Amino acid sequence: MREPPAPVDRVEVRAYTVPTDAPEADGTASWDSTSLVLVQLGAADAVGTGWSYAPAAAAGLVHELLEPVVEGADPFDVPGLSQAMIRAVRNAGRPGLASYAISAVDVALWDLKSRLLGLPLHQLLGSVRTSVPVYGSGGFTTYDQAQLNQQLEGWLEQGIPRVKIKIGEAWGTRPDRDLERMRHTRGVIGSDVELYVDANGGYSRKQAIRLMRAASALDIRWLEEPVSSDDHEGLREVRDAVDADVTAGEYGSDLYYFRRLCQTGAVDCVQVDVTRCGGITEWLRAAAVTASFGLDVSGHCAPHLHVHVAAATPNLRHLEWFHDHARIERMFFEGALDPCGGSLSPRDDSAGHGLTLRDGDVVRFRVS
């Protein structure tokens, strides 16, 4: 076997917990902090950085199961290392934390490879576009009207022409408030901005259909997880009954999952999360599976981790400019991007993903 010219010789894994700027909730969960696990891999004089919005426990999985795979390996062989990592987590179970851990390492490998080559990551992957559309995402059910207005007006000022709010409040037990917030949002954004909603699986099938009928004058374009994303027949039933595009896929972590989602006719657009699905390597393959069904993919959350691979994906619809993650990524990294005009352009003037950790600023959030 040939010796790698620049083997991975440093592996660093850290976990952080960052408080939100206000209490947040969607249809089926509430939170006041966000955790991320960050992986840095060194080879020669380059360092690659990846992360996943995962509980600190994912850092333990990286140490125990993935570090032995990448330590001493050739960072140019990312697809081979992806396969080796997938094999290494077989008994731990790939969906969930193990896949989040693989994603962080996979992104760090791609970043490292492109830095060793002195290329922007989107150029290494091979771009199909120079800018990537985004939609503003937040609109938590915990916001009062003033907080919601402030967030929506911020996106409008930035020229973002699509926005998403959370509905399905308290497991679908407050449909009247959901409808009132949808009407209010349409009033604030006017008729030219696309309105999206996300129920995070909070409704029953018929409840979701009734709500969308009641909201028919609001021109809702995107209905995310009206029912559980595991209920593919339920998604299909809602999809057949409403005008909005029905979407799901954010928890997907293997190609069979994405194929099933498409094959059952459950969705109009497949959401893929590069921090969960297995990183850039699996994102590209998931996007290809999706394309074979004539469907687009949309990037779920973590906009700065998606932007380069999104620029290299032919069947991309857009990325989610998620309030929590946009805020954290600006706090954590120099080189964060500006969504003004409704799109992100991956940098051409720096190697890798172009982000540099602000170590000193964020050490206060470190938990392991």
Binding residues for Mg ion, rule: CB under 5 A, are 198, 224
Query: Hey, what are 218's tokens?
Result: 């609001």
C-alpha distances in angstroms, 280 versus 7, 109, 116, 136, 311? 20, 10, 17, 23, 12
Residue 168: CB minimum distance to Mg ion, A: 10
Query: Hey, what are 293's tokens?
Result: 């069904």
Residue 270: CB minimum distance to Mg ion, A: 13
Which one, 178 or 198, has the nearer CB to Mg ion? 198
Residue at shortest CB range from Mg ion: 198
Query: Hey, what are 221's tokens?
Result: 């374009």
Which one, 198 or 231, has the nearer CB to Mg ion? 198
Query: Which of 300, 362, 311 lies closest to 49, judged by CA?
Result: 362
Which one, 27 or 354, has the nearer CB to Mg ion? 27
Q: Which residues contact 70 (CB under 8 A, 6 or more apart)?
A: 8, 11, 41, 81, 85, 105, 109
Which one, 224 or 245, has the nearer CB to Mg ion? 224
Which one, 114 or 271, has the nearer CB to Mg ion? 271
Which one, 198 or 282, has the nearer CB to Mg ion? 198
Query: Which of 153, 64, 46, 152 lies closest to 108, judged by CA?
Result: 46
Which one, 249 or 346, has the nearer CB to Mg ion? 249
The DSSP bridge pattern shows strands 10-25 and 30-43 to be antiparallel
β-sheet with 10-25: strand ranges across: 10-25, 30-43, 46-52
Residue 35: CB minimum distance to Mg ion, A: 17
Residue 200: CB minimum distance to Mg ion, A: 6
With tokens 């050490």, the residue in question is: 363
- How far, rounded to the nearest angstrom, does the alpha carbon of residue 351 sit from its chain's CA centroid? 22
- How far, rounded to the nearest angstrom, does the alpha carbon of residue 281 sit from its chain's CA centroid? 15
Residue 198: CB minimum distance to Mg ion, A: 4
Which one, 86 or 301, has the nearer CB to Mg ion? 301
Residue 224: CB minimum distance to Mg ion, A: 5
Query: Hey, what are 318's tokens?
Result: 């857009």
Residue 126: CB minimum distance to Mg ion, A: 29
Q: In degrees rounded to 5, what are phi and psi of residue 139?
A: 55, 50
Residue 196: CB minimum distance to Mg ion, A: 10
With tokens 């619809």, the residue in question is: 317
Greatest extent of the chain over all pairs of C-alpha atoms, in Å:
65
Query: Which of 64, 71, 41, 39 lies closest to 54, judged by CA?
Result: 39
Which one, 99 or 200, has the nearer CB to Mg ion? 200
Cβ atoms of 297 and 268 closer than 8 Å:
no
Q: How many CB atoms lie within 10 A of CB 131?
A: 14
Q: How many CB atoms lie within 10 A of CB 173?
A: 13
Residue 51: CB minimum distance to Mg ion, A: 19
